[in-house]
Chain A
């Protein structure tokens, strides 16, 4: 549970924004001309994809910081962020798949962005598995930091190479030329949802870090008691 004042404010703010975002996504935003109601999944698909990338970026940054400063605080942020990123990446894949079924008639297409997201998901899944297989705290921090950094760099190259390979996912709709663009109400809703998901990310990150600290304390007490 959030304890400090800043945490409480963040928690309440996220909660309020979530309610507003739900209203905007389901009631305020107009029905899309060709896709009908289905397009509303956009308001959950795009923000979760964005936050997943943000989370993995944070993991990479904190992994570098850990290797430089050798302070376990950074490792705690890196691993918590990766876990949240993995969750949001899963949501991205699921919502995207549902949307694809209704739009393209198939659950999955081996297109650049989809494939990159899937590989991203696999990379951080292996990151999470690696952490699970190491018992010593400092060793876990060092090894997973290395994977965290390599994984993030790799994503950029994966995207480049797969894009050469094939592409089906719609090109960026916002700012993609004169023809493209969302209706103002939709754009506002989308941006609001992105903002809300970003807030949600920080709320989750904070509580995950607190949780990890608490679990480390419990481990410490276990050790002390075992020695006595």
Chain B
């Protein structure tokens, strides 16, 4: 089996389980919706304020929902010792990491699209003509979020408290991703040309490259005991 096949094996396994159980995406989507609705009551916005607060609100919903998915990613493997089973298969640990990263990102991205749809419906936000730009930010932001999150998810299941440690580890580290994603989204909502959009994208991209390399290298040690 080549390395790529091994990664696809993990992805296929995760997608199959998800299609049967429909746990991660549903939970993320519903939770994200709740966040959006609660925000509406918490701020009681006028239509002008909505424009300024939209990017932040959207990303808060994404990252809070994302935590659920990431927690699920490895805690689901912890039941019935599935993680042990995966470690016994003759594949490098990094393949497990990359496979898990891919599925976490896919699930999070799918639920983000639905959340975005609801968001536009509820708040009447217009991204006219800038859809590819928005999806690019969402794509890079989600991957960046999951690069660190997948690693921390594996760390968190190794502890006594499992689930609630993940956000504590995750949030301070992903601050650059949050800043860059929110700012890039805010730029897209402005009337004029998107100034600074690509600068924020560069930050996202460099974060992703640096941490992808670091996390692939470090993942081997996490499953070691």
Contacts and interface: CB of A to CB of B under 8 A. Distances in A.
Interface of A: 67, 119, 122-123, 126, 129-130, 133-136, 138-139, 142-143, 145-147, 149-151, 153-154, 157-158, 160-162, 164-165
Nearest to B196: A164
Contact of B168 (A129, A134, A139, A165): A129
Given A130-B165, A142-B221, A142-B222, A161 B158 contact: no
30 contacts: A67-B218, A119-B175, A123-B173, A129-B165, A129-B168, A130-B155, A133-B161, A134-B159, A136-B225, A139-B158, A142-B222, A143-B158, A146-B222, A147-B152, A150-B148, A150-B151, A150-B218, A153-B210, A154-B173, A154-B175, A154-B211, A157-B176, A157-B210, A158-B176, A160-B176, A161-B176, A161-B180, A164-B203, A165-B179, A165-B183
B179 A146 contact: no
B160 A133 contact: yes
Contacts of B203: 157, 160-161, 164
Interface in B176-225: 176, 179-180, 183, 199, 203, 206-207, 210-211, 214-215, 218, 221-222, 224-225
Given A67-B221, A147-B155, A164-B199, A119 B179 contact: no
Nearest to B218: A146
B155 A143 contact: yes
Nearest to A118: B172
A84 to B, nearest CB: 19
Most buried by B among A136, A139, A154, A160: A154
B24 to A, nearest CB: 24
B169 interface: yes
Contacts of B218: 67, 146, 149-150
Nearest to A165: B179
B224 to A, nearest CB: 6
B221 A146 contact: yes
Interface in B108-158: 148, 151-152, 155, 158
Contacts of B165: 126, 129-130, 133
A143 B222 contact: yes
A57 B21 CA distance: 44
A157 B207 contact: yes
Interface in B26-76: none
Contact of A149 (B183, B206, B214): B214
Most buried by A among B148, B151, B221: B221
A123 B174 CA distance: 10
A135 B57 CA distance: 38
The 8 tightest CB contacts between A and B, nearest first, are A122-B172, A133-B159, A161-B176, A123-B172, A126-B168, A146-B218, A157-B176, A133-B160
A135 B161 CA distance: 11
A135 B160 contact: yes
Most buried by B among A129, A138, A150, A158: A150
Given A146-B218, A157-B203, A165-B183, 10 more contacts: A130-B159, A136-B225, A138-B225, A142-B225, A149-B214, A150-B218, A153-B210, A160-B176, A162-B175, A162-B179
Contacts of B224: 142
Contacts of B221: 67, 142, 145-146
Contacts of A142: 221-222, 224-225
A139 B214 contact: no
Contacts of B211: 150, 153-154
Nearest to B170: A126
Contacts of A133: 159-161, 165
B169 A147 contact: yes
Contacts of A157: 176, 203, 206-207, 210
Contacts of A150: 148, 151, 173, 211, 214-215, 218
Contacts of A147: 152, 155, 169
Contacts of B168: 126, 129
A138 B176 CA distance: 31
B87 to A, nearest CB: 14
Nearest to B220: A67
